[in-house]
Amino acid sequence: MLNTLKRSAIPILAASTLFLWVPLYALYLSFNDINFSVGGFFVFSLLVSLLAGCVFTAISEILVALRLRQLSNGLFYFITFWASISGFLLPLVKAAGMTAPEDLDIDYTNLVVVSMASLVLTLLTYTNLKSAVYVFLLVLLVASVGSAAPKLYRESASVERFSGLSKSDNVIVLSFDGLAGVVAKQVIEEDPKLKNAFKDFIFYENAVSLAPATIASIRSELYGDINFRELSETSTELSEKLSGRINSIKRENLAATDVMTYGAYSAFSEGTQDNVIPGTLIKSDFQEKVATALNFYPHIAARIGTPFLAGFINDEIRPLQGKYFSSLKIERPLVHKGSSWDALNTLQSDDLVELIQSLHATDAPRSIRYMHFLHTHFPVDFDENCTYRSDDAAWSSSNQNLQGLINETHCALQQTADYIEKLKSLGIYDKTLFIVKSDHGALASYFDTAPDGNRINNNKLWGYNRYRPLLMIKSRARDSVSTTYSSELVSLSDLAKTLCLEAPGKPDCGEYQGIDLLSTAVQNSSAPLYLDIVKDENSTFEYDSQMTVAIARESDFVSALENTGKVSFNPPFYVQRVGDLASIHAALEAYHRANGTYPVSQSFDGVHSNWGRSAEDWIPGLVPTFIKTLPRDPELSEDGDLQYLYRSDGTDYKLIAHNSLGSCATAKKLAPYLIDPVRDCWGFGYWTEGAQGW
């Protein structure tokens, strides 16, 4: 019996590493993006680990009975080392945002290193260095899980406490991911009810975000206008250097204020009981918590087993969820027709509704709530009535454009108006400093006119509008006839100074660089704003892949960016697509004049095509005689559906930009003759009369 217990130690270690310790560490790394209960995830992972431990032990005993004990030990050591090295140190996928785990890129360097290291360490367990290998593994496990434990211990605060507001003094920061200020202004101006709801607000129509991504934007909002790049070029080291500084949340914590955070703001809060995990405001039973946590397992599988394993795990989990569990949190990922990573984010709309309904007044002397909601995150998932619509693939595809953005913005602003009405019904509206904002604007692809559709430094995502967030503020006792619009160039980073000056007790606000957004006095605005800007087309949402530029507080933000000498603008997608198609059309006609025929295609060919030949020379014979290079769609997608496509039998041809719905909607207004009579807004471009019906 004792020997059996000793032999089971290795398989149990392998099972716990694979199904408990590594998942918990992965959860720690993704803590700001989860939408489920940490407690429920831990219990479920523990149960899976115990079950796997029993299975691994049974396999071990079978191998021992077959006199293959050394093989048994080696097998489970190898599993342990592989899971530990890839899970804690060298993930097998490259970091990426807004990407499903099964679609991540494999990190082949890490894959080779993990394979070799796991094999070498396994072989060393058969030598006199076995004890040293044990020490290495123990240190790795304790250091990794130990660093994660304090953060994971922060179970989500209750909706009862979070929804409680002071009867005498409140600060509400209600932040929506990705809402564009220019769109919000249009929605408010066109809706009389919303105009009335926001009549007491100052709307900063010339507000800028200092970063195109959520965490970096909120960091500047809480610490002020700082050149973070001077502190460090890497986000990891930057976090360490900022740990000694007092941000807006920490300042209120030190003043013993009732301050709580929801969503991305929790990354900057040190209070163990003051953070609300998204998705937990909606009541859930244990079964639902477990089933929701299952959605995280493909991410773990990608980390330790490449995207192929993630895809396999996802395919196995989804049928189980649909068969054995029934709830909104389970059904949403199953019916979601948009990007899979976005499915659970949409449930944050329900969180906000639950919060508004639960709001109540308390005797707390002062309450502060920082909230960042992701249901308005790209892509568009809701209509103007806040009805979830991305269970319909056709609706989802046809609403990723400016009109879709307008509708979803209306949804968010209506939810904000409901929040305001609840404050009024509780009698605390005039006791509340209310900030409504976003972290940044929208993707360039949602706009087909300048400047909002301009891309920066040839990057297809992070363009001009990404730096134009929503920002409006209502001071405590403000009572106005209509919304006040301010055209002064201000920054989200100015909120750090503004909220400090609004705090009781006259705190020292000198370390927060910026201006007071609520002051009517003339202020020194000579200090530059420090913006994180994408370097080129390869820059991502990561701080490490960007650069910082200093701009003057000029009212003309476009000129301020251009004057840095480091920012160039690329035309909006619509402008570039129309120009590209026109140049190809001219080349085709020149080819026809020279050859008496058009280049023959296989079907609808493109750089990538779902219907014909995929090739760089997707129209043969044009380059270089008739056109220097064949343009490709500016979104540079590898999806065969979102491309320039060409079909010809030699006599006739059709050339279209396919599935560029936003650009097509603009073409319908500005150049309706370009709209494909067969596809309507699924295609626009040029064709000969004989190809009109293709």
Q: For 39-57, how does the pLDDT look when each residue is reduced to its tens digit (9 = 90+)?
A: 778 888 898 899 999 999 9
Q: Which residue has the tokens 């914590």?
A: 253
Q: Which residue has the tokens 């035309």?
A: 571
In this predicted structure, the answer to whether residue 649 has a pLDDT above a threshold of 60 is yes
Q: How confident is the model over 189-245, as pLDDT tens digits?
A: 999 999 999 999 999 999 999 999 999 999 999 999 999 999 999 988 998 899 889
Residues 236 and 544: their CA atoms lie apart, in Å, by: 9
Q: Cα-flanking dihedrals φ and ψ of residue 546, to 5°? A: -115, 180
Residues 623 and 548: their CA atoms lie apart, in Å, by: 39
pTM strictly above 0.85: no
In this predicted structure, the answer to whether residue 4 has a pLDDT above a threshold of 70 is no
Give me the domains of the chain, ranges plus CATH numbers: 2-152 (no CATH), 159-283+339-567 (3.40.720.10), 573-691 (no CATH)
Residues 496 and 499: their CA atoms lie apart, in Å, by: 6
| Listed residue (100, 98, 80, 99) closest to 88, CA to CA | 80
Helix segments in 19-127, DSSP class H = 22-29, 38-65, 69-84, 108-124
Tokens of residue 36, six digits: 């489920």
Which stretches does DSSP call E strand in 466-590? 471-474, 484-486, 490-491, 529-534, 546-551, 569-570
Residues 426 and 420: their CA atoms lie apart, in Å, by: 10
Residues 619 and 661: their CA atoms lie apart, in Å, by: 23
Average pLDDT over residues 606-634: 95
Quote the pLDDT of residue 497.
96
> Roughly what angle, to the nearest 10 degrees, separates helices 181-190 and 402-426?
70
CB 448, CB 572: distance < 8 Å: yes
In this predicted structure, the answer to whether residue 3 has a pLDDT above a threshold of 80 is no
Residue 59, classified by CB atoms within 10 Å of its CB into exposed (0-12), middle (13-18) or buried (19+), is middle
Partnered with residue 165 across adjacent β-strands are 361
Exposure of 190 in the CB half-sphere (CA atoms within 13 A): 12
Q: How confident is the model over 665-677, as pLDDT tens digits?
A: 888 888 999 999 9
State the DSSP H helix or E strand holding residue 165, giving kind and residue range, or none if neither.
strand 164-166
Tokens of residue 136, six digits: 């290495």
Quote the pLDDT of residue 243.
86
Which stretches does DSSP call E strand in 252-350? 258-262, 275-276
Q: Cβ contacts of residue 9 below 8 Å, gap of 6+?
A: none
